[in-house]
Amino acid sequence: DAEKYDARVIQSRCVYYQGMIVDLGDEDKTTEAKKERFGLGKTLADNAQKLQKGRAEAYYYFGINLGRWAEANGIMKSLSERHNLRRSMESVLVKTAILNGKTIPGKEWDAYGANRTLGRMYFKLPGAFGGDNEKAEMYLREAYAKEPKDRPNTLNGYYLAEVLVAV
């Protein structure tokens, strides 16, 4: 059902943003709150995926919640989730999304957000676990070059610059 799908995606997106801004004044409590928020975001997006398998948005929000959950949990503790993150974002690249009532390629969702997320993942992962600055640069260059100029995401350029400085 499309309406339930949209509601779950909106919930997942909102919970993601809650996790991004949570600050309880205590680092340990804040980290636990972030893990809880991003974990809930993953669950909501996973539930949405089951309702509309051809749509990209739920796969995207599952992936970004998973990525932030992994950061809060610790990259080394979360290495086993890298395959789920990659699969989720690769799904976004081949599915479609609906933006302002129009069907668009999933890769265009959130200003090439799947490219940005994959680029970030390849940059942050240790080399022994699949980290690859060349892949990171490739994904981020595409995100930066193709993002809509009327609604860019500044993280595309920022993350690309970070990779370029590191290589």
- From the number of C-beta atoms within 10 Å of its C-beta (0-12, 13-18, 19+), residue 32 rates as middle
Check pLDDT > 90 for residue 149. Answer: no
Name the band, by pLDDT with cuts 50, 70 and 90, for residue 29: very high
Task: Quote the pLDDT of residue 150.
Answer: 86
Q: Work out the pLDDT band at 151, boundaries 50, 70, 90.
A: confident
Averaged confidence pLDDT in the chain: 96
Checking if the pLDDT of 76 tops 90, the result is no
pLDDT band at 19 (very low <50, low <70, confident <90, very high): very high
Report how far residue 2's alpha carbon sits from residue 75's, in angstroms, rounded to the nearest whole number: 35
High-pLDDT (> 70) share of the chain, %: 100
pLDDT tens readout for residues 34-58: 999 999 999 999 999 999 999 999 9
Q: Is 111 left (phi over 0), alpha (psi -120 to 50) or beta?
A: left
pLDDT of residue 43: 98
Q: Which amino acid is at 18?
A: Q
Please check the confidence at residue 143 and state whether its pLDDT lies above 90: yes
